[in-house]
Amino acid sequence: MLLRHTTPKEIDRKALTINPAKTCQPVGAMYAALGLHGCLPHSHGSQGCCSYHRSMLTRHFKEPVMAATSSFTEGASVFGGSANLVQSINTIFSVYNPDVIAAHTTCLSETIGDDMTAIIAKAADDGMIPEGKKVIYCNTPSYVGTHVTGYANQVSAFVKFFSKATLKKKNVVNLVAGWMEPSDMREIKRLAKELEARTILFPDMSDVLDAPLDGKFQMYPAGGTTTADMEATGDSKFTIGIGPYSTEDACITLENKCKVKFEVVDIPIGLKATDRFIMSLSRHANVPVPDAITLERGRLVDLIADSARNLYGKRVALWGDPDTLIPLCEFLVSLDMKPVYVVSGTSGKLFDERMGEILKNIPEAKYKCGERADMFMMHQWIKQEGVDLLIGNTYGKYIARDEDTPFVRFGFPIADRPGHNYMPKTGYQGAANLLVQILNAFLDYEDRTCPEEKVEFQI
Amino acid sequence: MGKTKKIELDKFREAVVGKYPTKVGRKRAKAIINNDPDNIPQIQANIRTVPGIITQRGCTYAGCKGVVLGPTRDIVNITHGPIGCAFYSWLTRRNQTRTESDMEENFIPYAFSTDMQDSNIVFGGEEKLKQAIREAVELFNPKAVAVFSTCPVGLIGDDVHRVAKQMMEEYDNKINIFGFSCEGYRGVSQSAGHHIANNQLYKHLIGRDDSVNGKFKYRVNLLGEYNIGGDAFVLEEMFEKCGIELVATFSGNSTVNSFENAHTADLSMVMCHRSINYVAEMLETSFGIPWIKVNFIGAGATAKALRKAAAYFDDAELKARVEEVIVEEMAKVEVVRNAVIPKTTGKTAMLFVGGSRAHHYQELFNELGVKTLAAGYEFGHRDDYEGRRVIPTIQIDADTRNIEEITVSKDQTRYKERISKERIEALEKEVGFEYNEYAGLMADMEKGALVIDDLSHYEMDKLIEMYKPDIFCAGIKEKYVAQKMGVPLKQLHNYDSGGPYAGFQGAINFYNDIAMMMSTSIWKEMKAPWEREEVIEAVYAS
C-alpha cells in the first residue's frame, strides 16, 4: 500500500495539512502571465519559488515555461528587494527583450513588505524600462488563498495596467478565461467563431503552451492575447467572465475602470454549463446560435443516452479547483452519476452554495473547501465508504492504486500523462471527450477484473 | 546534426557576455572558462545569482528537504510555511524506497504542511506548528519528525528548533523531533540547504545506535546517493554480491536507524561530493572513518570504485570476490555496449546538472564514445570544479557567511583509527586511492572544453545554437527548450522516468536509453514536406 497510514478514522485536524488539494498563488500568476503575448513572468522572491513553479507547469504541459526571478539573498530579505528587482528589469530587457514583464510576489517579498509600485517607478526613473515596454505587477502572497487566487490577481492586473476606455464602444464581447487548458481556450474561441461573435479572449495560452516543434525555440510563442487587444477590452460592450473564482476580480476591475458591464458564468464543462455559456455569448454578442452548434449539442446528448447504463448511480470522488469542480459535478449529476466526495483546497462561500444546490438530491454527498480540505481527508472518506471513480490531478493515482479504483485525470497538475493540453474538456466536444474518458476508465476496469465468462465483445 | 563545431571560448563568451548589461557581463565572464586539465584554471562559483538572468537554480529548502531528507522513508517531514513549498517537493524527485515489510513505515507519498495563513504571518506560527506535530504523531505515530523552515519563517521569527525541543519533551523524548533553518533565501542555491541538512543529520541522528549489525565483516557507508530511479537498489545488490555490508546510504532508500548506525562503518564512499562532503568530514573527525570519492556512474568507474574498497580492506578473499563480480558484470555490459556503440560513437554531449552529475555522467558518455563539449553545475563550489586542493583559497562571501558551520571534535569513546597513514600512502600509489580527496570535474575534462557555472537560459540557447550538440543533458525546465530546437535532452535529474543508471546494470540501461535517443526518428520530421526544400540542401552541403 502506498498510503498505508491513511485510515478511515478521522481526527479533528486544526493545523496539519496532508496531501493538499491546492498550491500557492504565484504559480497561478505565472500561468496567467504566459497568456499575454510577448510577456515574461517575473517572480519577485527567492529563486526557489520560480524554479518550482516553472517545473510544475513544465511537468504539466511538457512545454518550455519561461520566467525570471529577483533571486533574493539573505541581505535583500532583511533590507528589501528593491535593488534586485531593478537589476532584474535591466537584465531582462537587455537579454530577453519581452514587450511586458509581469511581476508577481511571493511570501518572502510580501512578508517584508516590498512596495512594488515604488520599485517599478524607480526602475523607470533609472531608465531601466525601454520606450514602449511595460512592467506590470500583482501582489500574490502565498499565505493568502491558493494558486487560483494568484491566477485571478494576475488577470485582474492585465485589466488594471492595459484596459482603456476611449468612449467608442465596439460590438465586441470580452471573454475572460478562467484557469483551464490551452485546448479549452482554443475550443472557446472556436465556439465564438461558430457563433460569429466578435470577442477578445484573455488570457489566452493556446499557441503558447501547446506550441509546435519545428526546430526553433520561441521565447515568446505565437499565441497570447496581444497588448493591443488587451487595451481594447475597455471599449468592448460586455464582458463574460468564465469561472467566477479566477475571473470575477478582473470583470469587476474592468467595470470599475472602463464601465464595461459583465456577467460571470461557469467554465463550460458539460452539457448545462456549455448551454449557459452559449446562451450568454449569443445574448451579449447579439448573434443567433447556428445550427452547427445545435448539432454538436445533439451529438453529445446522443452519446450520453447511449452510455446511461454504464454511468447511472456511480459514486465519484473529485478534487481540484472550484471553477472546474462546480460545472464538472453538475455534469456528472446530469449523467445521473453521484459526486459523493468533493474537495477543494481553495476556500470560498460560492463553492459551498453551488455544491449544495448541485448535490441536493444526493444526501450522502460530502464536500468541503478551504484549509485542510485535503486529499488525505478525502481518502479517509473513501476508506469509510468506497467510490467507483476518481477524478482529479495526478496525485490521485496513489489512491487509485491503493483502492483499485478507476481514475480519470483532470485538473492541475497532470504530470504523468501527455496530451491533455491538446484535448478540450470544455464545450460539447470537450464534454464528449470527458465522457469517453470516464466510460473507458469504467470499461477497461471491467474488462480487466470481471470473471472470464463475463468478458463481453460488445457494449 | 553532423560535424562538431570547434568550441571557441572567446567567440562564445563574447556572444553572451556582450549581450548582458556591462556589470553582469563582467561577472558572468568569470564563470565561463576553457578547461585545461594540466593547469586547472580558476572558475567563479557558489556566488549569488544575477537577478533576472533566468537561472535554473532552486533554493535552500529544496537542497535540504527536497534533496537530503526527502528520501528517508520513516521521518514525517513537515514543511513549516505556506502550502507551495510542501506541494512542489511532493513526489517530484524520484527518490525510490522499498520497505522490507508491508508494516514498515513509508511516508514518502505524503506531503505535510502547516499551510501558513496570513494570521500566522502576523501573529507567528509556532503554536500551529506544535499542533501540526501533535496531529502528525496521532495519525502517523512516527519515530522521527523533521520540521523545515521556509522563507517567511525566518522573517517572522518562528523558532523551529525551540518548538522541536519542546515537542520532544511533550513526548518524553520518545520521538526524535528536530528542525532545519533552511529558509529559501539563505545562501545562493540548493547548496546551503545541503550544508544545513548535513549539520542536523550529525547533531540529531548520526551516532545514536552503537549496535553492529549485518552479515558481512567489511562495512561501508555510501554517501550522497539518493536512489533516483532505483540507483541505490542496484548498488545495494552489488555490495551484497561482493560481500560488503552497506551500513548507511545518505540518503537513498534510507531509514532513521541507518543514519543512527552510520558511525559503525569503516569506510565512507562519497558519490555526490557537493551535497554530503560535510557528513563525510564529520564522520572522519568524530569517529575516524576515512572517506574516498567514488563514482558508480559508468561501468568502468564502478569497477574502479569496487577495487578501491577491496584494496582498502586488504583481504584476498574479498578482492577475489570483487574481481569475480566485475568479470561477470562486465561481460553483460560489454554485450550491450558493443551493440549500441555504432549509434553513439563520435557524437557530442553537453551536461549542465546540479552539483555532481555533470561530472559523473561523462564517464558513461566516454564509454559510449560520446565527447563532452561543455559542462557545468548549477550550484557546485570551486572544489567541485577545481578539486579540494583549492578549498583553503576559497573566500566565503557575505551570502554564505551566515550558513552555520558546526565544530566537530573527536568522539572520546568511539573514535577509532581505521587505517594507518603508511597504509593509506601505499594505497594511494597502488590503486590511485584518493583519501579524503576529490580532484573535481575539470581534471577529467578535455583541454579546451567549455566549463560554465550557473548556466543561464540565454547561455544555453547560444550553446545549442552555436555548437548543435547531439544530446543536451539538464533538467525539466531545460528539456522542452532544447527539444524545440531539435536537440534531444536527457534529464539527468529525473532520468526522464528511466534508470537506474548506477552500477553495471545502470550502465546497461543508460547505453540503451542514449542509443534510443540518438536514433529517434521524429527529429527528421520537424519541417513539413512542403517546407523542407531548404533543409535538404543544407544537409547535403555540409
- Could A53 and B185 be called an inter-chain contact, meaning their C-beta atoms sit closer than 8 Å? no
Distance CA B262, CA A328 (A): 52
B84, B135, B140 member nearest A15 (Cβ): B135
- pTM of the shown model: 0.97
What does the DSSP assignment read for B132-175? HHHHHHHHH--SEEEEEE-HHHHHHT--HHHHHHHHHHHTTT-S
**Is residue B273 flagged as an active site residue?**
no
Task: Find out whether A296 and A210 touch, Cβ atoms under 8 Å.
Answer: no
Distance CA B75, CA B96 (A): 15
Within 8 A of A379 by CB-CB distance, chain B residues are none
Mean pLDDT of B269-274: 98
Residue B249 DSSP one-character state? E
Distance from CA of A25 to the nearest CA of B (A): 8
Residues 115-154 on A with a CB inside 8 Å of B are 141-144, 146
Within 8 A of A210 by CB-CB distance, chain B residues are none
- Whether residue A404 lies within 8 A of chain B, CB to CB, comes out as no
Task: Find out whether A76 and B188 touch, Cβ atoms under 8 Å.
Answer: no
- B218-225 and B267-270 strand pairing: parallel
Give B7's pLDDT tier (boundaries 50, 70, 90).
Answer: low
Distance CA B429, CA A160 (A): 71
Distance CA A340, CA A362 (A): 7
- Could A16 and B155 be called an inter-chain contact, meaning their C-beta atoms sit closer than 8 Å? no
Question: Amino acid identity, residue A269?
Answer: I
- Whether residue B181 lies within 8 A of chain A, CB to CB, comes out as no
Residue B268, burial from CB neighbour count under 10 angstroms (0-12, 13-18, 19+): buried
Task: Find out whether A156 and A239 touch, Cβ atoms under 8 Å.
Answer: no
Q: Across A266-365, where does the E strand assignment appear? A: 315-319, 338-344
Q: Return the residue of B nearest to A141 by Cα.
A: B118
A20, A49, A63 member nearest B113 (Cβ): A20
**Is residue B182 flagged as an active site residue?**
no
**Span B291-314, pLDDT tens digits:** 999 999 999 999 999 999 999 999
Distance CA A402, CA A378 (A): 14
Residue A422 backbone phi and psi in degrees, to 5: -100, -25
**Span A283-297, pLDDT tens digits:** 999 999 999 999 999
Q: How many residues does chain B have?
A: 542
- Extract long-range pairs of A302-307: CB within 8 Å, 24+ residues apart: A303/A432, A303/A435, A303/A436, A304/A271, A304/A334, A304/A335, A304/A435, A307/A335, A307/A435, A307/A439
pLDDT averaged over chain B? 95
**Span B53-93, pLDDT tens digits:** 999 999 999 999 999 999 999 999 999 999 999 999 999 99
**Span B123-165, pLDDT tens digits:** 999 999 999 999 999 999 999 999 999 999 999 999 999 999 9
Torsion sign across C-alpha atoms B250, B81, A147, A109: negative
Strand order in the sheet with A100-105: A68-69, A39-44, A100-105, A134-138
Distance CA A310, CA A459 (A): 9
**Is residue B194 flagged as an active site residue?**
yes
3 state DSSP class of A225? strand
Residue B454 backbone phi and psi in degrees, to 5: 50, 55
Which residue in B57, B79, B87, B536 has the most chain A C-beta atoms within 10 A of its own C-beta, making it the best mutation to test that interface? Answer: B87
Strand order in the sheet with A407-409: A366-369, A338-344, A315-319, A389-392, A407-409
Instruction: Check residue A184 and give its pLDDT.
Output: 98
Instruction: Check residue B247 and give its pLDDT.
Output: 98
Cα atoms found within 13 Å of the Cα of residue A329, Cβ hemisphere only: 30
Tell whether the model's pLDDT for residue B200 goes beyond 80. Answer: yes
Distance CA B359, CA B377 (A): 9
Strand order in the sheet with A236-242: A199-202, A170-177, A236-242, A262-265
**Span A8-49, pLDDT tens digits:** 999 999 999 999 999 999 999 999 999 999 999 999 999 999
- Whether residue B411 lies within 8 A of chain A, CB to CB, comes out as no
What does the DSSP assignment read for A123-168? HHHTT-S-TT-EEEEE---TTSS-HHHHHHHHHHHHHHHH----S-
**Is residue B263 flagged as an active site residue?**
no
Instruction: Check residue A377 and give its pLDDT.
Output: 98
- Whether residue A218 lies within 8 A of chain B, CB to CB, comes out as yes
Distance CA B418, CA B436 (A): 14
Distance CA B359, CA B249 (A): 21
Tell whether the model's pLDDT for residue A262 goes beyond 60. Answer: yes
